[in-house]
Amino acid sequence: MKKLLIIEDDQVVANIYRNKFALEGYSVEAAADGETGLQLVRTFQPDIVLLDLLLPKMGGVDVIRQIRAEPGSSHLPIVVFSNTYLTNLIQEARAAGATKCLSKANCSPKQVIEIISRMLKSSSREATELDGGVSHASGSATGALAPNQSKATTPQDNTRAFLLSLPSILSNIRLGLTTLVRNPDLEIRRAEAEKLYNQARSLTGGAAAHNLSLIAQMAEAMEALFKELGAKPKNINASTLRTMAAAIDFLAQLVEKRQTGSSQKSPRAKVLVVDDETISRHAIVHALAKAKLECIAVDDSKVADAMLQETAFNLVLLDVDMPGLNGFELCTNLRRYQLNKQVPVIFVTSLNDFESRTQSMISGGTDFIGKPFLFVELAVKALVYLLRNRLNSTS
């Protein structure tokens, strides 16, 4: 019996994966913080570790460093299971010695089980070769945790229970946003953003575990935005509040559907960015990359105009103040082109006055975000429109 240690402070997510691995014949222990997890590495002696990065008492990166410093644990497989948007932290985890990094939102339990099973088989083969053909199989663990649910509880029962809990989760998120809107006090906003982060984080893991891939993808982006706003509450302004409200409204659409579906990656979206300023254009591309969105970036609005006549895009981001055709003129033009009549258009501009906002709507724009912007905020806004189109096209 192979031994798995799960280090995850979200008890809902930890229980889901603990139960699923136990049903697959694994001996499983779970820890809700980094310090306890490190202690269990020493006493439980797992064959593999599934580790979140954002943990109380000791962060995931420090846990990896400590494990790698332990005698006999330098080659213990460590699978990081966290938020895709934590790019810097994930890079630190790799440098510290993480064996593999997985996204909570983009990996179903079946995929996680398959990946870990393959890693253990590979690790066993290597151990056999090193030890002259003698395989060191792990014995059963004395402290292994049994599944929380009774034997009569099925995965379908668990999924139904999670689906029924979604309206309550969404209601709490809406309530948190209302608190942010009504309270300008930075400390209150910091605390509320942290609560929203924890709610979105739990939703990400739970939705992915129950194969609700669109909800998981949207919740993961919101989780990253709430985390950043909790760290820097001064960035909570009219723009970020509008973006959060739009994301929550779309999340409500997804919750209303309440259908499990494929957890495979979304079809690659065609995104066009048009901005004549090099730094600004690179910033937009970087922001979209946080949502794993690849884009075509163009600095000439007339070249973009020709492209829009010949190629259908899923999303267009436009600057306003450009030579040749300005953003408003380009948007007016593309609404006449058959291939892009309905494409969402987000204006990304330093022109943040009421007149510019009005003109953006008159010209056919869908949304507006002012410079300078938070990278994660733009990623959330872009994801709302792309996933909404995907949802509508499959309805």
**pLDDT tens for each residue of 258-269:** 655 544 445 578
Collapse the DSSP code of 208 into the 3-class scheme (helix H, G, I; strand E, B; otherwise coil) and give the result: helix
13 falls in which pLDDT band (50, 70, 90)?
Answer: confident
Identify the pLDDT of residue 155.
63
pLDDT of 148 higher than 80 = no
Beta bridge partners of 273: 297, 317
What is the share, in percent, of the chain residues with pLDDT greater than 90?
Answer: 55
259: Cα within 13 Å, side-chain hemisphere = 7
The label of the residue with tokens 């599944």 reads: 147
pLDDT of residue 248: 93
Cα gap 381→350, rounded to integer Å:
17
Higher pLDDT pick, 239 / 125: 239
Confidence grade of residue 153 (pLDDT, cut at 50, 70, 90) = low
Report the amino acid identity of residue 149: Q
Give the CA angle between residues 234, 177, 390 to the nearest 5°: 105
Whole-angstrom distance, CA of residue 263 vs CA of residue 114: 14
pLDDT on residue 60 = 94
Please tell me the predicted confidence (pLDDT) of residue 352.
Answer: 66
Which residue in 356, 331, 358 sits closest to 274, CA to CA? 331
Read off the pLDDT of residues 175-214 as tens digits, 9 standing for 90 and up. 999 999 999 999 999 999 999 999 999 899 888 888 888 8
Helices 327-334 + 354-362 axis angle, to 10: 20
pTM of the model: 0.78
Of residues 6 and 12, the one with the higher pLDDT is 6
Contact (Cβ atoms closer than 8 angstroms) between residue 33 and residue 55: yes
Q: Which residues contact 133 (CB under 8 A, 6 or more apart)?
A: none
Residue 215 DSSP SS3: helix
Q: How far is it, in rounded angstroms, from Cα 283 to Cα 267?
A: 24
Averaged over 286-301, what is the pLDDT? 90
Question: What angle (nearest 5°) sits at the alpha carbon of residue 53, between those of residues 62 and 166?
Answer: 155
For residues 343 and 249, the answer to whether their CB atoms sit within 8 Å is no
- Note the pLDDT tens digit of each residue in 311-352: 999 999 999 989 989 999 999 999 999 999 999 999 988 766
User: Which run of H or E residues covers position 298?
Assistant: strand 295-298
The pLDDT mean for the chain works out to: 85
Ordered structural domains, the chain, with CATH: 3-130 (3.40.50.2300), 159-257 (1.20.120.160), 271-394 (3.40.50.2300)
Q: How much is the pLDDT for 68?
A: 93
Closest CA to 317 of 341, 285, 289: 285
> Exposed, middle or buried, 216 (CB in 10 Å: 0-12/13-18/19+)?
buried
Can you say how many angstroms the Cα of residue 34 is from the centroid of all Cα atoms in its chain?
22
Euclidean distance between the first and the last CA atom of the chain, given in angstroms as a whole number: 44
Q: Which of 40-49, 84-93, 361-370, 384-393 has the highest mean pLDDT?
A: 40-49
What is d(CA 144, CA 392) in angstroms, rounded to the nearest whole number? 45
Q: Compute the 3-state secondary structure of the chain and give helix, strand, coil in percent, each to the nearest 5.
A: 55, 10, 35
CA separation for the pair 179, 353 (Å, rounded): 26
Block residue for tokens 């253990």: 120
Lowest mean pLDDT among 45-59, 122-136, 163-177, 228-242: 122-136
